Amino acid sequence: MLSVTFQKELEEYQAKINLELDNFFNKVISENNYGFNVKLLGVIKEFTMRGGKRIRPLLVLKGFQAVSISKGIVNQKLEQEVLKLSICVELMQTSFLIHDDIMDKSELRRNKPTVHKILGENMAILAGNIAMILAQKIITDSNFSEEIKLKATNKFNEIIQTTNYGQILDLQLSEKNIFEVNEDDINQIHLLKTAKYTIEGPLQLGVILAGDPDNVQDKLVEISKIALPLGRAFQIQDDLLGIFGSEEKLGKSVFSDIIENKKTLLVWCAYMKANEEEKEFIKLVLGKQDISEDEFSKLKEIIIKTGSKDYSKEKLIGLTEQVTHFINSSLLDRKTKNFLLNLAEFFVDREF
């Protein structure tokens, strides 16, 4: 059971990050010189402010603290600067989501119309581009030293590149039949699109902001070791929720993973263990735009019956144990360790 303290900490940070985001957008909009793009900037703001767990900016801060705590330094003013910068990863997420929604032809995001539904596809392509350049400018406009800003920019650009590469693979797999895909492909996507993007990248960005050359390299390695299984665990839970979760809590249709022909471990395993008749059925419904409630229920039954749901859950537990082991045996400080242990637990327990 997730500790109440952790949940409270998470909520406190979410509020702080939302405040930073709000301040940022107000500044961008008030300093904007052109009348014609006010609407688009407003849409990017509204889309970003719809919510989200804000895990990525929080991880930037935690990466920073992992270095500063180990040095025995607490500098509240500097932490405020880190918080201000940390929202760049949310703007990046906004950019990716806007483009993803176009590609997936999704109509809803967090229970509201997607950007291309509001502005049209062409303007949404530009909105995604603008969100990304705003994200990058947050780093270069920050108050950190030139050296740190350049290193942070390098890391940030590396995250953008890796995530785009993951997206290529995802698109390629979504055009394939399930039997043409193997588990390595699925793991590769988890690595690029989740572990590196959601966990490792933000934590490492935070470490870099601490700007301590002696400590940074060790910390980056420690973090990678933890981030990769943690990211995979996060993704497996995401895929479980995508099929078995609550639409209301998720803010999107539980059909969407199936309609988009997303290659998840859950569906892939079910297919591998299914009998011939079930295999044909799975092939039929994957990517089907007008999948019915009955077909969806039958698919869920097959996922359960073949043991695929249990397999995903076992994998999730195995990865979480691995993460716990890596955290405990790492050289990170006690506070950072506790945070990461709680986070791993949160990833498994979450319903959204």
Alpha carbon of 58 to those of 64, 88, 285: distances in Å?
A: 10, 11, 38
Does 140 contact a second copy by CB under 8 A?
A: yes
Measured from the CB of residue 140, what is the shortest distance to a second copy in angstroms?
5
Q: 286 φ, ψ to 5°?
A: -65, 125
Based on the shown chain and the rule CB under 8 A, indicate whether residue 237 belongs to the binding site for a second copy.
no
The reply on whether position 102 binds a second copy by CB under 8 A is yes
Query: Rounded CA gap, 319 and 323, in Å?
Result: 6
Among 99, 190, 232, 252, binds a second copy (CB under 8 A): 99
Distance in angstroms (rounded) separating the CA atoms of residues 352 and 249: 5
**Pair of tokens at residue 298:** 């039958």
Which residue is listed with tokens 């490492």? 204
Contact letters (x/-) for a second copy, 16-55, by CB under 8 A?
A: ------------------x-xx--x---------------
Size of the site for a second copy (CB under 8 A): 36
With beta carbons less than 8 A apart as the criterion, state whether 95 and 132 touch. yes
Q: Which of residues 169-198 bind a second copy (CB under 8 A)?
A: 169, 171-172
- The reply on whether position 106 binds a second copy by CB under 8 A is no
| 136 or 215: CB nearest a second copy | 136
Least Å from the CB of residue 163 to a second copy: 9
Residue for token digits 């603290």?
A: 65
Burial 199-209 (b: 16+ CB within 10 A, else e): bbbbbbbbbbb
Contacts to a second copy by CB under 8 A = 34, 36-37, 40, 99, 102-103, 122-123, 125-126, 128-130, 132-134, 136-137, 140, 146-147, 149-150, 153-154, 157, 160-161, 164-165, 167-169, 171-172
